[in-house]
Structure 1
Amino acid sequence: MSSTKSSVSTASVVTDFKEITKMGLSISVVFSSIAGYLLGAETISFTTLFLLALGGYFMVGASNAYNQIIERDLDALMDRTKNRPIPAGRMTVNTAFIIATTFTILGIITLYVINPKTAMWGAISIFLYTSVYTPLKTKTSLSVFVGALPGAIPFMLGWVAARNGFGIEPGTLFAIQFFWQFPHFWSIGWFLFEDYKKGGFFMLPTGKPDKGTAVQIIMYSVWTIIASIIPVFGFTGDLKLSIIGAVLVFVLGMVMLFYAFKLFKVRTVKVAKQLMLSSVFYITMLQIIYVADKFLR
């Protein structure tokens, strides 16, 4: 009986650890930074790739843990978050803080081993997410704009890890992921509108799921597509994209834009979810296409 209890509690601890660091989200961010590294690398170092993946996970995990510490009382009010480790009482604030602090230190050290600029951008990402974006979420819908800054760093971070410098190439990768976050997060804010309202979060630009928000989603979807095909024109330095690559990215963008227009037309939770899923598919496939395009050219 005691061994059963022990295995259940161990499983619970592992699950809570995954939840406090948002492992799924962290892995998707690591995927972005690895794609950025592969695009920037002249010769691939598997040691650097490993350090980047590990350091990236530490940094995102730390940001998420800090976020859940700060928002613990608000998380308890929302259906989506009330079962998180802290509001559900399965983890103390002190334990979460130890995890967050340890991850911050390990993350900065790991990225510093790659090069100091990578560590600097990683530290900026944690600071903006925790100290600026998180407190602003209950104050203004502009928080999404602020949150898009650290959210756009991972794709760029990979290139900085590869080249130890910032220029037009990582700047373009940053712009793609920056613009993409608006249709992505506003679609989430749309279908979770009622739940967010319980916690006092107003994530939509007009404050509600209306035509004004839908218009801005369309606008930022268009900007995302434009930023995504810019490398085909040849003025983004070493970041290049073939015509075939650009066409594929453009077609993917049209799928996302289709759902953005559909949301403007019908304004339903179902379509907002479809838009969110299409945005995730878009950014994932874009990164795969960019990397494949580089190595197959």
Structure 2
Amino acid sequence: MKSAVGTVKTTSFSLIFADFKEITKVRLAVSVVFSSIAGYFLGAYSIDIGSVLLLAFGGYCMVGASNAYNQVIERDLDALMKRTKNRPIPAGRMSVNSAMAIAITMTLLGVLALYILSPKTAMFGAISIFLYTCVYTPLKTVTPLSVFAGAIPGAIPFMLGWVAATDDFGIEPGTLFMIQFFWQFPHFWALGWMLQDDYRKGGFKMLPTGKKDGGTALQIILYTIWMIVISIMPAFGFTGRLHLSLGAAGIVLLLGLVMLVFAFRLYEKKDNLSARRLMLASVSYITLMQLVYVIDKFI
């Protein structure tokens, strides 16, 4: 009997934890934490483990809070779409009040953790939550320009790590911000291409032309080119203390060109498979590019 009760408790905890991961979008949050830590390593003169842990915790809370607010606001629309109807709130596994409690708690804890690192870091974290929740989320059903608004908080994490390490904002974190800012467009437009039919059910306007057409694919190509250009700029001495060796720049350029090939394939074929491959290539690019930057600094 005790064993059965214990099993039920374990199962209940597992379900609650699974919903917590879903409401905070754990995979997205972990990728954001990775970007933040990469930025910290690039900016730091010496690595402080306590600061890294605070940044990781604060970064996770920042993203988790934003996603929880987002799912509260969009709960009725999420119920209309196949990919989101099983989220905790529309599926009825979590109340709006519980989701809001999670969002508010994570906001407070995240801003506090980032404030301990530096007030500037906390400020950028708070700005990120505000823009994602109060600008990007409501604009998604109004205009495709929502992607532009969403690209701002989406680009903050890479920059945030540098600011956390230096308590300074200048050309270096600005460059990191611009790299990830331009990366957002091909990444999310590829995702929007794949999910266009589902997004329509929720009334979301994610593609720049509103269609899976040559105009959207061409813009993906152009933003990918800008991303590549900015990603290799640190090799030419324009970005202060943020430096990239010519060998590392060559690797970053090669990674970018691979992504650009997938963008051209989408322009040529205009199908969901090409969009999926581009989306996966973009995820690989941002991760590998950040690793190249960090490794290049320390070798």
1:53 Cα deviation from its structure 2 partner: 0.4
C-alpha separation between the residues in 2 aligned to 1:12 and 1:83? 13
- Given the alignment of the two structures, is residue 12 of structure 1 paired with residue 15 of structure 2, yes or no? yes
Counterpart of 1:245? 248
Tell me if 1:110 matches 2:120: no
TM-score w.r.t. the length of structure 1 is 0.99
Supply the distance in 1 between the matched residues of 2:126 and 2:165 (Cα, whole angstroms). Answer: 18
Report how far residue 8 of structure 1 moved: 2.0
Q: Give me the whole-angstrom Cα distance separating, in 2, the residues matched to 1:5 and 1:165.
A: 50
Unmatched runs of 5 consecutive residues or more in structure 2: none
TM-fit CA distance, 1:242: 0.3
Match in the other structure for 2:225: 222
- Aligned-pair distance for 1:124? 0.2
Alignment correspondent of 2:196: 193
Indicate the residue corresponding to 1:22 in structure 2.
25
Is residue 137 of structure 1 aligned with residue 151 of structure 2? no
Shift of 1:20: 0.4
Distance in 1 (CA, whole Å) between partners of 2:45 and 2:201 is: 49
Per-residue displacement from partner, 1:119-151 (whole Å, max 9, x unpaired)? 000000000000000000000000000000000
In the alignment, what sits opposite 1:277? 280
- Alpha-carbon offset, residue 43 of structure 1: 1.1
Q: Counterpart of 1:292?
A: 295
Report how many residues are paired. Answer: 296
How far, CA to CA, are the matches of 1:105 and 1:54 in structure 2? Answer: 12
Sequence identity of aligned pairs in percent? Answer: 66
1:64-143 aligned at under 5 Å gives the runs: 64-143=67-146
User: For the residues of structure 1 that align with 2:113 and 2:251, how far apart are their CA atoms?
Assistant: 35
Matched residues in 2 for 1:6 and 1:153: separation? 39
Q: Which residue of 1 aligns with 2:56?
A: 53
Deviation at 1:58, TM superposition (A): 0.6
1:165-200 CA-to-partner distances (Å, cap 9, x unmatched) read: 100000000000000000000000000010111110
* Aligned partner of residue 201 in structure 1, secondary structure: coil
**Unaligned 5+ residue runs, structure 1?**
none
AA aligned to 2:264 is F
Cα shift at 1:80: 0.4
Partner of 2:287, secondary structure, is helix
Deviation at 1:13, TM superposition (A): 0.3
Distance in 2 (alpha carbons) for counterparts of 1:265 and 1:175: 28
- Give the counterpart letter for 2:281 in structure 1: S
- How far is 1:257 from its partner? 0.2
Looking at structure 2, the residues matched to 60 and 93 of structure 1 have their Cα atoms a distance apart, in angstroms, of 18
Q: Show the counterpart of 1:34.
A: 37
Q: Deviations over 1:254-285 (max 9, x none)?
A: 11000100000000100100000000000000
Report the TM-score when normalising by structure 2.
0.98
Question: What are the equivalent positions in structure 2 for 1:145-224 lying under 5 Å apart?
Answer: 145-224=148-227
CA shift, 1:10, in A, is 1.4
Residue 261 (structure 2) pairs with residue 258 (structure 1)? yes
Q: CA deviation at 1:235?
A: 1.4
Amino acid at match of 2:44: A
Moved over 6 A (4+): none
Aligned to 2:236: 233
1:4 CA drift (Å): 3.2
Q: Equivalents in 2 of 1:33, 1:10: separation in Å?
A: 30
Using the alignment, how far apart are the partners of 2:8 and 2:41 within structure 1? 45
How far apart are the structure 2 equivalents of 1:198 and 1:255? 33
- The whole-number CA distance in structure 2 between the counterparts of 1:11 and 1:105 is 25
Distance, in Å, in 2 between the alignment partners of 1:5 and 1:55 is 32
The alignment yields a C-alpha RMSD, in angstroms, of 0.6
